Chains A and B, each alone.
Chain A
Amino acid sequence: MNIQKNAPAVDHVTASVIQGALENIAIEMGYKLMRMSYSSIIRESEDFGAGLVDIQGRGLAESAQSTPLQSGPIPGYVRGILKTLADRGESINPGDVIMHNDAYAGASHVPDVGFIVPVFYKDELIAFSATTAHHLDIGSLTPGSCGIVDAIDAYAEGLQFKAIKVYEAGKKVIPVWHILRDNIRVSDLVVGDMEAQIAAARIGAERLVELIDRYGKSTFQAACDNVMDHAERLMRQAIAALPDGTYAATTFIDGYLDDPDPSRKELPLCVAITIKGDEMVVDLTGTAPQVPDKPINMPLHGTVDIAIWLTVRSVLLDTAVHGHIPVNDGLVRPIEIIAPVGCLANPIFPAPTIARFCPGNQLADTVMKALAGVAPSQVSAGIGNLRVIAFSGLQNSEHWVHMEIFEGSYGGRDGKDGMDAVDTLYANTRNNPIEDIESHLPLRVDRYELREDVCGAGQWRGGFGSVREFVYLDAGGASIEGEGHKFPPWGFRGGNDGGSAGLRLDRTNGKGGELPSKVPHTPVDAGDRFVCVGPAGGGYGDPLLRDPEMVLADVTDELITIARAADDYGVIINEDLSIDRAATEKRRA
């Protein structure tokens, strides 16, 4: 093994120690934000991020607990505010705290508000400490910040913050806080969460100054370069290990299945990955044009880039295989992204983007499908996408809002079945305990189980989805963004496709029924029930090659029926739960 040719300006030992210290700071930020925050979307779902960024807007470290779709974009937020402030001729001063959610300048989408604390060392700006979090409400047209699927442009999505100072030189900018309180529903919770974000970002800044104090500025900066170069080498080696070539894949999103306009539904996402040496180009040409008046467009910086980076590293530098991999700017340097302007993955302002969550995860899945062509043993078959519901209501003129993220499932893998009923790819949030929901909200969770007998059959079958039912105890409303009602997760290497998702509203007035994957705010009555059916991941490999004992185990566990064992797997199982080997052999022949 060779050491890099240019002698590093910092020794290996110090670089390693400083890298550990940077990660430790980011972890502390995340820990504090998660524990202090008010809304379940942050503290239970962990839909937040925390990270440290250098003066050039390069990520140095991110907190381990947060969700990738929140920590990943943080460097982009910083680059966004740097550009916006420079364009306006504003300077950054010690004691400033900058709020940002501009989806056309680095932010992931408007509810994910970033708070950025500039870090000054001896009066010199040297880095940024930042947190992001998904807020319950951002002043959109209807309650909650998800399921705003009918926003016609960026202005309809809610408040836009383009590098707004909420503290200036240490002083709270009071009018801004009044605007927040007056324009956001459940503002006690949202503003409390924002304060928690600022507190956590300030702690990061404080710790970073202590760290720099300890090693000196030049050693610190040299160590940061070293740490990023290290991550870059890891990614380059992983790419170089793959054969050169172009590997392409297409998947489709539902869009608006109930819309008469064909340009708003069944939209292709196209990915062509070209490997050349130790570099990778991810070209999204062919992806459907943007939908100008529906918010399923994906911000290029903050959603599209994160979806791509996340999938590439999860496949090529899988932490279950490679161990801990430091997360910083170096990891993404060898990856170039091409997205034609005006497509779903690179929309033009003011095209709305607030409901980009599911399309973005579908893009991540498409990237995995493309990688399947070159690294077939490192991918899963198609994943099941997610769904988010904003439950809300009005009690004594006060809003309540609860956002729940509904899990998908993974496709089968080489040598392993898919993970059942989990968040997939760029999302990794947590559900809310039933006992917490029912103790604090006028909702009842009437069922939470695996969805039986729907599965992507394969030698390694896809994961099972879930079924969850929510009943309203008082009148209220709901808005919903989901995906995957039309297109099931893809099977791979002879595996069957998985099961698509579904959603039904049973109304006490008898007027309920099946719903599409996107539902703008809808009033509901006490006793109305959402039956939320999650997707089942695709199968991996020929189902006829599945070990009959594993098929029997699934039947014994009442995950699949005896009939399905025969139909999908050619395994004949007797009523007494034994395998009819002769009949199985015959059926499989």
Chain B
Amino acid sequence: MKLIGVDVGGTFTDVMYGDTETQDVAIHKVPTTPDDPSRGVIQGMVEICERFDVSRSEVDHVLHGTTIATNAVLEYKGAKTGMVTTEGYRDILHIGRHQRPQHYSIMQDVPWQDRPLVQRRHRKVVAERLSPPDGAVLVPLDEEAVRGAARELKAAGVEAVAVCFLFAYINPAHEDRAAAIIRQEYPDCFVTTSSAVSPQFREFERFTTAAMNAFIGPKVRTYVRDLEAAIADNGFRADLHVMGSNGGVATSAMVSDRPVLTLLSGPAAGVLGGAMAGEKSDRKRLITYDVGGTSADIGLIVDGQFAEATARDTWIGGYPVMAPMIDIHTIGAGGGSIAHLDAGQAFRVGPQSAGAQPGPAAYGRGGTLPTVTDANVVLGRLQPGNFLGGEMNLDAPAAHKVMSEFAEQLGMTVEAAADGVLTIINANMANAIRSRTVQKGHDPREFSLVAFGGAGPLHVVEVARDLGIPEVIIPPYPGITSAAGLLTTDLKYDAIRTEFQTSGDVDGDRLSRDFNVMRDGLAAQFKIDGLDDAAIAYQRSGDLRYVGQGYELRVPVADGPVDQASLGDVFKTFEAIHTAEYGHVFEDSPIEIVNIRVTGIGQMPKIELPTLQQGGVLKDALLDEVPCHFRLDGELAAMATPLYARDKLPIDQVFEGPAIVLQKDTTTVIPPGAKATAQRGGNLLIETGA
């Protein structure tokens, strides 16, 4: 099979080609075309085929990471959206959880009020009402009212409609019927229901998820359709799959229907790319650490499985979204983060970023504020002649100038100030990693830290040391890890159902039945996608909590009928997870099964990265030796530091820090006391000495 992965980032569109039989791979980068990202995608695909002599018509699959949905939300540029909801509850989307985003602010905005996904004038109410626990009909659906609402919304020029009824997660009949009526009245409209998008309780969050799906629906549908057409027009016969937030890909049809599943498309591919790199070094417990210009994304992989965010922790652009997502923690810390003294004269780095324009002073584009990148230049860790493989020059005097001015304010030497910038930004990043590990019962010392993105490998060893992490992995292509991750994905769909069943009184037959129905639903979808039964695997799990609690923990549920024995195992596992996560267990308290889930995974062909061949000696990789500042026994000192070319490093030969490894897409810093080895599998493995 021949695969192309295309990941669209803010600045570059990264392309990777892989052949699963010959294990040939190739990489390429083209500028992102923000007005219509599909142009960059097509250009990248065409160019990689030309450069590496691949026949376009022989490419089987195109796997795509896209920010089209995310940007529509972040920039608040979606469709004119309508809503049909239960009478008496017109403003659920607007009132939300009645909590302000900030405690200590009068002038703050409330995203769901100031930037409504559906304006009140387009929120139509109809008589209907269901009730728990079984979805019984209290008030029948007023079909004529639905018809009237559909006509009004059509007349108002609404392009998409979300149908959101209370308790639809138990009984979708009213929503389904209302959607059918709206489609009859207005066939061109993008119609979505809350029970189809996210069938779980909590009405504000579910309605918002459905409204967001509608809000971004027309745009994503058009994008996918146009991209598919352009792919075909350019002589490709490959089908298109789009990366979902859940760490799997979905067909273009699925994504057109549920674009809300792709909100973390790019970062999720990054985590997969990190996981693939970790596997090459036989590591199963990984923290992925992706640092760019403005932010750092942190993901967690335990025993080969990435962590999934709980439904209550997933937010995009200030709106809650209840869709399955890889647990990715993002903080505002990157190469462009600005160092400053705040009004109270405390030393801060970020979260403000110089971005790409004007960027760090060292970019020579007029930046006048000291950034993390400038600090790296001052300390000699970024080399002016060798940044981005020499494609971009760095203005070292400009970096020195801004950092000197800052140092003067602090009464420090320029090197001490630059070192302080790195210490603070590294501590911020370490805190972010702590919040994903220590605070959730994982000991970071048992993990390897996989660093990528343009700035990850610059900082990673010091961050790892801060956390006591003994080992760091730098993948072969740190700058295009997301595109590489795309070539390792499977098709992945999730089904979820709210149960509210309590230990001691669980209807095992009902659970078995529900699991089977959900599984059959996924199987039908895979069938539509043309997948072989043999290529499909299912995983079952439940969201459990002690009765009374409000936050659930994900617990795996074994295959087979649900009976007393298997339930006993599930509850025991829940208690173990509760202890690990919170450090506490409530003895003998009843446990509630809130939701059950089935995840279906359809195997896709995957590439393997080629193993490296070259032997040679370290001397051949030596490019230069420069003075570089490091902290040794607490003292900051300039040390002679060799610069090595990544692609010339000898295999399996240990070399010691201080050293700096250069490659086209990143710079890796190996401080004194750390040891590095280029591995046959392609990774650079660093022992941090922690």
Contact = CB atoms under 8 A, between A and B. Distances in A.
A422 B583 contact: no
Given A1-B409, A192-B546, A314-B104, A16 B95 contact: no
A196 B439 CA distance: 15
Contacts of B410: 3, 12
Contacts of B548: 38-39, 189, 192
B583 A230 contact: no
Contacts of B97: 44, 430-431
B345 A557 contact: no
Contacts of A448: 88-89, 91-92, 95
B549 A38 contact: yes
Interface stretch (B261-269, B428-436, B669-677): B428-436
B411 A3 contact: yes
A313 interface: yes
A436 B98 contact: no
Contact of A37 (B131, B424, B549): B549
Interface stretch (B57-65, B107-115, B357-365): B107-115
Q: Bin the interface of chain B by size.
A: 35 or more
B204 interface: yes
A157 interface: no
Contacts of B546: 38, 192
A44 B550 contact: yes
Interface string B606-617: 000000000000
Interface in B404-443: 409-412, 419-420, 423-424, 427-428, 431, 434-435, 438-439
Contacts of B423: 13, 17
Nearest to A18: B427
A43 B420 contact: no
B166 interface: yes
Nearest to B310: A35
Interface in A65-82: 67-68
Contacts of B95: 407, 420-421, 431, 448-450, 466
Contacts of B99: 46, 422-423, 428-430
A127 interface: no
A16 B348 contact: yes
A286 interface: no
A447 B550 CA distance: 23
B583 A431 contact: no
B12 interface: no
Contacts of A257: none
A320 B109 contact: yes
A462 B563 CA distance: 57
A319 interface: yes
A447 B113 contact: no
Interface in B519-549: 546-549
Given A430-B98, A435-B201, A313 B104 contact: yes
B586 A195 contact: yes
B131 A438 contact: yes
B409 A199 contact: no
A419 interface: yes
Interface of B: 88-92, 94-95, 97-100, 102-110, 113, 119-121, 131-133, 166-167, 169, 201-204, 341-348, 409-412, 419-420, 423-424, 427-428, 431, 434-435, 438-439, 500, 546-551, 578, 581-584, 586, 589
Given A433-B201, A433-B204, 17 more contacts: A12-B410, A16-B347, A16-B348, A20-B428, A28-B439, A35-B551, A35-B582, A36-B584, A43-B551, A310-B104, A315-B106, A323-B342, A419-B110, A434-B203, A435-B203, A449-B88, A466-B95
Interface of A: 1, 3-4, 11-13, 15-17, 19-21, 24, 27-28, 31-32, 34-40, 43-44, 46, 67-68, 188-189, 192, 195-196, 199, 202-203, 227, 230-234, 237, 310, 313-315, 317-323, 325, 368, 378-380, 407, 410, 413, 416, 419-423, 428-431, 433-436, 438-440, 444, 446-450, 466, 469, 556-559
